[in-house]
Structure 1
Amino acid sequence: MDKKLILIDGNSIAYRAFFALPLLNNQKGIHTNAVYGFAMILMKIIEEEKPTHIMVAFDAGKTTFRHQTFSEYKGGRQKTPPELSEQFPFIHELLDAYGVSRYQLENFEADDIIGTYSRQAEKDGFHVKVISGDKDLTQLSSDHITVCITKKGITDMEVYTPQHIQEKYGLTPGQIIDMKGLMGDASDNIPGVPGVGEKTAIKLLKEHQTLENLLESIDQVSGAKLKEKLAEFKDQAIMSKELATITTEAPVELQLSELEYEGIHKDRVIQIFKELEFQTLLERVGSDLDEETSVELQPLDFRIVEEIQENMLTEHTAFYLEMLDENYHHAEIIGLSFANETGYYYVSLENALKSAAFKTWAEDENMKKIVFDAKRTEVALRHKSIHLAGIELDLLLASYILNPAEAVNEVSAIAKRYQFSDVLTDEQVYGKGAKRHIPQEQQVAEHLVRKADAMMVLAEKLVQELKDNQQYELFTELEMPLSLILADMEYQGITIDEERLRKMGEENNQALLGLERNIHSLAGEEFNINSPKQLGVILFEKLGLPPVKKTKTGYSTSADVLEKLEHSHDVIKEILHFRQLGKLQSTYIEGLLKVMDPTTKKVHTRFNQALTQTGRLSSTDPNLQNIPIRLEEGRKIRQAFVPSEPGWYIFAADYSQIELRVMAHISGDEKLIHAFNAGLDIHTKTAMDVFHVSAEEVTSNMRRQAKAVNFGIIYGISDYGLSQSLGITRKEAGLFIERYLESYPSVKEYMEVIVKDAKQKGYVSTLLQRRRYIPEITARNFNIRSFAERTAMNTPIQGSAADIIKKAMIDMADRLKAEKVKTRLLLQVHDELIFETPEEEIEILKKIVPDVMENAIQLKVPLKVDYAYGPTWFDAK
């Protein structure tokens, strides 16, 4: 069998992936785009090349032996963005999981490691393929060494063989070093000879073969100025060639035999892909690990009953309700199970509904119940005209508060955490994908009863842990009551004006047709605008726009590419508008019509209460927190959300700059506290402090920059992140952040103290004791640790703001009840609450809504609430 060695330039490929793909985050907030791109390249190489040996080389540090020759080597390179740095440990983990060797060597670059191994392998009869984004490596090309250089995208590569180098430059691979000596390399700060570019260097080398030959015969060079430059910078040219030369004799320690590829550790790869939420890659690698379904379980004596008797349901019962459809507003209940001191019972939905004792028990506040996902259980039973009461413990919420990082969606996951093994996973019982089915009643009954049993056993452990963590109050006074308020909101739903929505759809279609005609006219021909391939040809071949990056199938026409080209041609703006309108049409107009109840004309979103690590709510089916309101047509979609009663209004109230106010309170910064207490515009005040100008001298651009850094600080923004959002250099962004922290010293102090605390405790807390565990904060790896530090800084602020609006929702529900009004709370969208109300109650809401929301919690600065109302959600702005 032929021996094939693949050598990958790790740093170069990671950089390429990072800048080629948009910034991606998983739910934990970890940036993942470089890991994703790296994984795609790695999978492609392994699948297509089938290497016998493989290694990824990384740079060991900032200084190498070349710095002894020229201290400014690679000088002027910008610091690696922290958003990329934090991804290297995951890339290393990924390589280990794939069984791929990785290596770095003090004082040498990845190029030198690759150069050394490629020549060793060539001598040993290997076919060698080098993968990099750095053209310096093309000097290694030979009959047995092929160098593949990534182009604009990440998987599209140009293959450099000696023949290709001859065709492209008219040079041999060895002459690439001479060319670099002459023309230099700005990316590595190799000076070369000033004024000599690629064309001139190639011409000179064709005539003189090597740099040394050229410098010995400068007199024969035509052009007085060129002669003068070559003579003046002779030593610099020789040094530049030396810097550009990849050593093939680095003191590497691994033997070639140690680079043998033996295949992936599939379970570890799946674990990483799951953690980073790479769904597409999970499907490619095949995450169907064969789970052992014949688990040995302890016998459990239970009964399948046809009627619930009163004596079966006691004052302390674990009650589980099963629905297989995630969207429980439309799902059919499969069955119900109960566990208490009298025994274990299973009953079908039909028989439960026939049992008067069940309804009486379910609605009795004094009959305390342990459930899993109170909101889901309550909504499902409400659809069957049963109002669940007396919930004393929701295992889902308790588990979420105790460890928000661990996504739990079934009882078995909590049981596993506490080493309770007598309950199977849903997948083990029902199967998955195409094989998913509901088995015989006996098997379903046993599975559900085991869930109820586990809940009974685990309840006490979770309550004790909540108390030990001083989180029992957060659970009983915030999350538990909130779950029932959310259940009510979900059950109520929000009414859609179907006619208006359909009319918007027609108007949007007309607008799309108009944009299509305009785009075709500007392009000079008709083509499919939704086809990236056809669009790429039009933009980059016919219209001659500069291609920003390429993909496997051609030119990239992604949003970030088009935004960079927006001022290059009138057609770009039209294409971007066409895409935005198209998304609105499919996701929101057609999407809302799909999920609208045809009878009630309502949509019933589901609020995810146990999902985010900061405690914020999110919504799905449909996601009403994400309507793109920056676009005029997007804002107009809110016109379709109307009250459910004639003559009623939509009333919306939102917190003004709540996270900045929380930051002022937590940090105790006197300047910020004074600004909020004096009612100043905080962004203008920040601009005054950072730019050292008066209020009158603050320009709109200064205020915009101040606003970006105000909100950016909360999210632990880096100089790279700020530079991207403001379109300024990283140096300017870094200076801006520095000035900000000088202006608000207590904010800086808070950041330092919270990181120190997190290192001691292993977690940070919100004002209401919500915890986020950050074990990575003591990691030895700088990149992982710095990401964890940013998380420690921003979680108490984001999490406290989330807690405050949750508290406001509970207080608001109590106040509406006390006022005996008909007003209903419909939605929560980040820092905003949406109500529907009769006209005669608007004056009452104007008083009680700000009163309740502004007094949900007492801070060192006032909470400020703005409100508006109108016949539609759009008008309540």
Structure 2
Amino acid sequence: MSDNENTVYILDSYGLIYRAYFALVSHPLTNSRGENISAVSIFFRNLKALLSKYKPGYLAAAFDSRTPTFRHEMYPEYKATRQKTPDDLHAQVPWIEEILCGLKVPVLRVDGFEADDIIATVAKVCREQNRPCRILSGDKDLLQLVNENCKEMQPDKFNGGWVEDGIEEVIAKWGIGPEKILDYLSLVGDAADNVPGVKGVGDKTALKLLGEYGDLDGIYEHAAEIKGALGEKVRADKDNAYFSKKLIALREDVPLEINFDSFRTDDLDYLSAARKLEALEAFSVAKSFFAEAGVTSPSKDAAEKKKSPVKAVQEAEEMPLEVKKNEGDYKPVLKPGDLKSFVDGVLSSSEKTVAFDTETDSLNSLEAHLIGFSLCREKGRAVYVPVVLPDAMFAPETVPLSACISELSRILDCEDATLVMHNGKFDLEVLWANGYASVPKCRIFDTMVAAWLLSPDGTGKSPYSLEYLGETKLGLRGIEFKDIVPKGHTFADVPLEAACPYGAEDADFTWQLWNLFKKQIAENGFEDLFYNMEMKVLPILAQMEKQGIHLDKKSLSDYSTVLAGQIKTMEQKIYTEAGHEFNIASPKQLQVVLFEERNLVPGKKTKTGYSTDNAVLEELIERTT
């Protein structure tokens, strides 16, 4: 039996439902009855992805109590500051529960207890039986359950899917192990749940205290030794700290009969779930469940008729694509005649459209050297034109930069042509820095701007990057920059055999995104906004960045003189107050003046003595004024 077949997966259902709802809160998915189905669609999309990828042997869904919990009895203000759950989110919870039951996934709920307590109880049984456990949640409170056999799986905001957090990952992200998460939360509190914590203690301070004293008990055993305002705060809020710990601690003794045989996934009823999803008109998700059941959706045609174009596009955007490694027919262009022939083909075609991407030796577009560029006018096929190659003595001959700019100018200066770019402002500025001297007359289509316009609430580190959109919109995983450019080097150091597929692939992805986004822009009625506003403004913004902003050096110099005079006056006041001159910028000399000569009470201590950072100085001001 594989690990996954023996592993218990448990869903923090409400947490995942909330996350799903708010992911599309600004442009929700709705059915023909006007009902919001965002949470339903994304929740079951993610669940289907989990089932397909991880193939869990055991699965259950934990839900919160319908009645007040023991925490409300302990503390009536518990979660009192939370805003009321939106009605259209609240309405989706019983639908999700009904679909889970139809799928034959056990729904675990016990009055008086939260889902977190149910999860903790299941995790405890798993630990006792030495059975692997995976908690599907984004809740930091549940990190206290992480141990050798239990991990938390969080939705991956950057790439979709799930990210596993074990002991090492918790330490890397939080700076403490799972065994200290409860004490950490007891110190910082939780504004969302109205848990008080210790007033004035934030993340960094809590981590510092735990690092120095070990745990909450250790902190309060040495509370008298903690100096300054921090010590006063810690000592004053001891009751709140321990009360918060009692509130946040998860119960492992929920009166719940746990029969793992009922968690088995051997007999999931995908057909029942698919029919319920279809009844709610979550057609794309339903289709994946019908496929798992080996059935074609009986009302596929009706479904397509019911969906408006906008909703169809939105729903399709939210469905995960199976990502595969990209493969393309990419070739280098090394002769001026071949480049001219390619440009001739673009300008003689009916659409006169080409995707274009630059490769440079710097991210500073106004100073970067053009190392090469790529052109694409057909899905899966593109060319890369190197301008600079490493080992020039032995490298093949390339098209001269002047000839490259001349041929590209034929497209840029053609009013009937369309140049498709991803982050076009960067590419235009690179061209200007390398010899192109005009303002483009061609039409411009920027796929990065289009992606933002179609989904302005993109989240994560790089939601509009070409790599991310390639995976999420095209289902293609491309070559990563770090895989071909060694650390400390630039693209100018990349040999042709690696530069060609990397560069040409970028143009290919850009071309494919153009084909996708131009239709969605039309279907969403964004054509006037995109073509007549965004794309007209783009070259103007690029010109503004190229031109720069004039600075009046004389005025700045005059103001610098004024500031220098004010600083000198303040220094003299400090020297007079201290009774002698010293180096104010020296922490060591400042320590002597403040804590030895003037006998002020020092704050935190560092390896070189007492700290004189801004926080300490501000604290001294509060105590002495």
Which residue of structure 1 lines up, in the alignment, with residue 273 of structure 2? Answer: 269
Q: CA deviation at 1:532?
A: 10
Residue 5 (structure 1) aligned with residue 47 (structure 2): no
Residue 530 (structure 1) aligned with residue 416 (structure 2): no
Which residue of structure 2 lines up, in the alignment, with residue 38 of structure 1? Answer: 43
**In the TM superposition, what are the counterparts of 1:219-258 in structure 2 within 5 Å?**
219-221=224-226, 223-258=227-262
Match of 1:518 among 425, 444, 461: 425
In 1: Cα distance, 2:15 partner to 2:154 partner: 10
Residue 285 (structure 1) aligned with residue 289 (structure 2): yes
The 8 Å contact of residues 16 and 154 in structure 1, kept in 2 or not, is answered as: no
The 8 Å contact of residues 117 and 256 in structure 1, kept in 2 or not, is answered as: no
Amino acid at match of 2:236: E
In 2: Cα distance, 1:290 partner to 1:581 partner: 34
Instruction: Provide closer, same or farther for how the CA distance between residues 190 and 520 of structure 1 changes in structure 2, counting only shifts above 3 A.
Output: farther
Match of 1:112 among 104, 108, 117: 117
**In the TM superposition, what are the counterparts of 1:814-853 in structure 2 within 5 Å?**
none
What is the SS of the residue equivalent to 2:10?
strand
What is the SS of the residue equivalent to 2:164?
strand
Instruction: Provide closer, same or farther for how the CA distance between residues 406 and 172 of structure 1 changes in structure 2, counting only shifts above 3 A.
Output: closer
Amino acid at match of 2:244: S
Q: CA deviation at 1:529?
A: 5.0
The 8 Å contact of residues 37 and 154 in structure 1, kept in 2 or not, is answered as: no
Q: CA deviation at 1:510?
A: 5.2
Determine what percentage of the aligned residue pairs are the same residue: 27
In 1: Cα distance, 2:44 partner to 2:82 partner: 26
In 2: Cα distance, 1:108 partner to 1:72 partner: 16
Residue 71 (structure 1) aligned with residue 79 (structure 2): no
Instruction: Provide closer, same or farther for how the CA distance between residues 518 and 289 of structure 1 changes in structure 2, counting only shifts above 3 A.
Output: closer
Instruction: Provide closer, same or farther for how the CA distance between residues 581 and 290 of structure 1 changes in structure 2, counting only shifts above 3 A.
Output: closer
The 8 Å contact of residues 58 and 264 in structure 2, kept in 1 or not, is answered as: yes
In 2: Cα distance, 1:18 partner to 1:205 partner: 36
Amino acid at match of 1:115: A
Amino acid at match of 1:238: Y
Q: CA deviation at 1:224?
A: 0.5
What is the SS of the residue equivalent to 2:178?
coil
Which residue of structure 2 lines up, in the alignment, with residue 571 of structure 1? Answer: none
Amino acid at match of 1:256: F
In 2: Cα distance, 1:53 partner to 1:10 partner: 16
The 8 Å contact of residues 215 and 231 in structure 1, kept in 2 or not, is answered as: yes
The 8 Å contact of residues 352 and 417 in structure 2, kept in 1 or not, is answered as: no
Match of 2:196 among 165, 177, 191: 191
Which residue of structure 1 lines up, in the alignment, with residue 183 of structure 2? Answer: 178
Q: CA deviation at 1:508?
A: 9.1
The 8 Å contact of residues 143 and 181 in structure 2, kept in 1 or not, is answered as: yes
Which residue of structure 1 lines up, in the alignment, with residue 59 of structure 2? Answer: 54
The 8 Å contact of residues 177 and 245 in structure 1, kept in 2 or not, is answered as: yes
The 8 Å contact of residues 533 and 555 in structure 1, kept in 2 or not, is answered as: no
Instruction: Provide closer, same or farther for how the CA distance between residues 194 and 629 of structure 1 changes in structure 2, counting only shifts above 3 A.
Output: same
The 8 Å contact of residues 135 and 149 in structure 1, kept in 2 or not, is answered as: no
In 2: Cα distance, 1:291 partner to 1:232 partner: 65
What is the SS of the residue equivalent to 1:252?
coil
The 8 Å contact of residues 80 and 193 in structure 2, kept in 1 or not, is answered as: yes
In 2: Cα distance, 1:515 partner to 1:171 partner: 41
- Residues 714-744 of structure 1: CA deviation (Å, up to 9, x unaligned): xxxxxxxxxxxxxxxxxxxxxxxxxxxxxxx
The 8 Å contact of residues 156 and 550 in structure 1, kept in 2 or not, is answered as: no
From the CA coordinates, give the structure whose radius of gyration is larger: 1
In 2: Cα distance, 1:153 partner to 1:26 partner: 28
In 1: Cα distance, 2:213 partner to 2:179 partner: 14
Instruction: Provide closer, same or farther for how the CA distance between residues 267 and 134 of structure 1 changes in structure 2, counting only shifts above 3 A.
Output: same
Q: CA deviation at 1:284?
A: 3.0
In 1: Cα distance, 2:83 partner to 2:114 partner: 17
What is the SS of the residue equivalent to 1:73?
coil
Greater RCO structure (CA 8 Å; 6+ sep): 2
Which residue of structure 2 lines up, in the alignment, with residue 27 of structure 1? Answer: 32
Q: CA RMSD in A?
A: 4.7
The 8 Å contact of residues 423 and 447 in structure 2, kept in 1 or not, is answered as: no
Instruction: Provide closer, same or farther for how the CA distance between residues 285 and 533 of structure 1 changes in structure 2, counting only shifts above 3 A.
Output: farther
Instruction: Provide closer, same or farther for how the CA distance between residues 45 and 582 of structure 1 changes in structure 2, counting only shifts above 3 A.
Output: closer
Q: CA deviation at 1:230?
A: 0.4
Residue 15 (structure 1) aligned with residue 18 (structure 2): yes
Match of 2:168 among 163, 175, 189: 163
- Residues 484-524 of structure 1: CA deviation (Å, up to 9, x unaligned): xxxxxxxxxxxxxxxxx999999997576699643535799
In 2: Cα distance, 1:49 partner to 1:169 partner: 26
In 1: Cα distance, 2:352 partner to 2:160 partner: 44
The 8 Å contact of residues 353 and 419 in structure 2, kept in 1 or not, is answered as: no
Residue 152 (structure 1) aligned with residue 164 (structure 2): no
In 2: Cα distance, 1:517 partner to 1:530 partner: 8
**In the TM superposition, what are the counterparts of 1:324-335 in structure 2 within 5 Å?**
none
Amino acid at match of 1:240: S
The 8 Å contact of residues 156 and 551 in structure 1, kept in 2 or not, is answered as: no
Q: CA deviation at 1:196?
A: 1.0
Q: CA deviation at 1:287?
A: 4.1
The 8 Å contact of residues 508 and 581 in structure 1, kept in 2 or not, is answered as: no
The 8 Å contact of residues 448 and 465 in structure 2, kept in 1 or not, is answered as: no
Amino acid at match of 1:23: P
What is the SS of the residue equivalent to 1:186?
coil
Unaligned runs of 5+ in 1: 293-325, 327-403, 409-500, 560-577, 590-622, 636-877
What is the SS of the residue equivalent to 1:229?
helix
- Residues 154-186 of structure 1: CA deviation (Å, up to 9, x unaligned): 944342212222333342312100000111112
Q: CA deviation at 1:101?
A: 0.6
In 2: Cα distance, 1:15 partner to 1:632 partner: 32
Which residue of structure 2 lines up, in the alignment, with residue 103 of structure 1? Answer: 108
Instruction: Provide closer, same or farther for how the CA distance between residues 632 and 231 of structure 1 changes in structure 2, counting only shifts above 3 A.
Output: closer
Amino acid at match of 1:51: P
In 2: Cα distance, 1:528 partner to 1:512 partner: 6
The 8 Å contact of residues 352 and 418 in structure 2, kept in 1 or not, is answered as: no
What is the SS of the residue equivalent to 1:174?
helix
Q: CA deviation at 1:24?
A: 0.3
The 8 Å contact of residues 7 and 56 in structure 2, kept in 1 or not, is answered as: yes
**In the TM superposition, what are the counterparts of 1:101-140 in structure 2 within 5 Å?**
101-140=106-145
Amino acid at match of 2:9: I
**In the TM superposition, what are the counterparts of 1:83-98 in structure 2 within 5 Å?**
83-98=88-103
Instruction: Provide closer, same or farther for how the CA distance between residues 534 and 18 of structure 1 changes in structure 2, counting only shifts above 3 A.
Output: closer
Amino acid at match of 1:198: D
Amino acid at match of 2:447: N
The 8 Å contact of residues 130 and 146 in structure 1, kept in 2 or not, is answered as: yes
Instruction: Provide closer, same or farther for how the CA distance between residues 50 and 244 of structure 1 changes in structure 2, counting only shifts above 3 A.
Output: same
**In the TM superposition, what are the counterparts of 1:289-308 in structure 2 within 5 Å?**
none
Unaligned runs of 5+ in 2: 307-349, 355-410, 435-443, 474-510, 534-625
What is the SS of the residue equivalent to 1:84?
helix
- Residues 761-780 of structure 1: CA deviation (Å, up to 9, x unaligned): xxxxxxxxxxxxxxxxxxxx
Aligned pairs, how many? 372
Amino acid at match of 1:195: G
In 2: Cα distance, 1:551 partner to 1:131 partner: 27
Q: CA deviation at 1:282?
A: 4.0
Instruction: Provide closer, same or farther for how the CA distance between residues 143 and 509 of structure 1 changes in structure 2, counting only shifts above 3 A.
Output: farther
What is the SS of the residue equivalent to 2:85?
coil
The 8 Å contact of residues 155 and 551 in structure 1, kept in 2 or not, is answered as: no
